[in-house]
A = this chain, B = another copy of it.
Amino acid sequence: MTIFTAGILIIGDEVLSGRTQDTNANFIAKNLTASGIKLEEIKIIQDQKDHIINSVKLFSEKYNYVFTTGGIGPTHDDITSESIAEAFNKKYEINKEAFNILEKYYPEGEFNVSRQRMSKMPSDVQLIYNPMTAAPGFILKNLYVLPGVPKIMEVMFINVLKNLKKGKPKKIITINTNLYESKLAPFLNDIQEKYKECSIGSYPYFNFLSKTGGVNIAISSWTMDSLDDVEKEIIEMIKFNGGNYFFV
């Protein structure tokens, strides 16, 4: 079975300085997983040409799809497009279609040099349209170049996602129990050993006020036809240990 893989590159000093809590990676991650594309890595890097060049090259080789967010606006610190052009030996030039879109969008006389900069891209790209603020992203090889503003990125990403080749969606079942993780651990280990084609994740949580806690057990698989048997064994195991459970 083919599994399509993906990597995300978040380009932005504002995330590394902590001033911005990134939410783009999580939005993309959720939607990829639900669509049958396996996200294998997220990297958050500085607005620096050499970092961007190295990362896009590496990711483009490693993964079927690469999504970048950030750095395609009109200011001097927006260097994603020119870095990608350099990474793939493309010219960095005005894209006529993007230029026309932006020229139509801005009122007469307001399509200034900085705004025109948003139509500069590597040569030979396909545009990703932006229904909110016009400035397009682009596709080059397996690279999907998106803006950093979440609301705009999200709309553009969802449109892109529709046209991607996808695998079977990942099967996921999540079971909550009030038992502690360390109680469950040896049993989960045995069940994991038995079902190697699925992955059994165990995510503890604590309520520090009530001093209670529990675990969310996530069973997931990209390849199994059914998770029923694993699910049954885990529920039996929870009962055997005197715990409660519900599906999340």
A88 → chain B closest CB, angstroms: 22
Which among B43, B74, B185, B205 is the interface contact of A74 at CB below 8 angstroms?
B185
Q: Which residues of B contact A30 (CB under 8 A)?
A: 17-19
Residue of B nearest to A22 (CB): B26
CB of A183 within 8 Å of the partner chain = yes
Query: A3: CB under 8 A from chain B?
Result: no
Question: Is the pair B170, A202 in contact by a Cβ cutoff of 8 Å?
Answer: no
A192-B76, A201-B14, A203-B14 known; A19 vs B218 contact (CB < 8 Å): yes
CB-CB contacts of A104-117 with B at 8 A, as 1s and 0s? 00000000111101
Decide yes or no whether A40 CB sits under 8 A from chain B: yes
What's the least CB distance linking A1 to chain B, in Å?
Answer: 18
Q: Quick one: copies of this chain in the complex?
A: 2
A29 in the interface (beta carbon within 8 A): yes
* Inter-subunit contact A33/B21 (CB<8 Å): no
Those of A6-44 within 8 Å (CB) of chain B:
13-23, 25-34, 39-44
Binary per-residue interface labels of chain A (34-68) against chain B in the complex, 1 for a CB within 8 Å, 0 otherwise: 10000111111111000000000000000000000
- A19 / chain B contacts, CB cutoff of 8 Å: 30, 33, 172, 174, 218
| Tally of A interface residues using CB under 8 Å | 69
- Across the interface, A185 reaches (CB within 8 A) one of B21, B76, B199, namely B76
- Structural contact, B43 and A17, CB atoms closer than 8 A: no
In chain A, positions 174-188 with a C-beta closer than 8 Å to chain B are 174, 181-186, 188
Contacts of A113 in B (CB 8 A): 186
A98 to chain B, nearest CB (A): 14
Let me know if A202 and B77 touch, CB within 8 A. Answer: yes
Assuming A21-B26, A114-B181, A117-B185, what are 8 further A-B pairs, CB within 8 angstroms? A15-B29, A18-B34, A19-B172, A20-B203, A74-B182, A77-B201, A114-B185, A115-B185
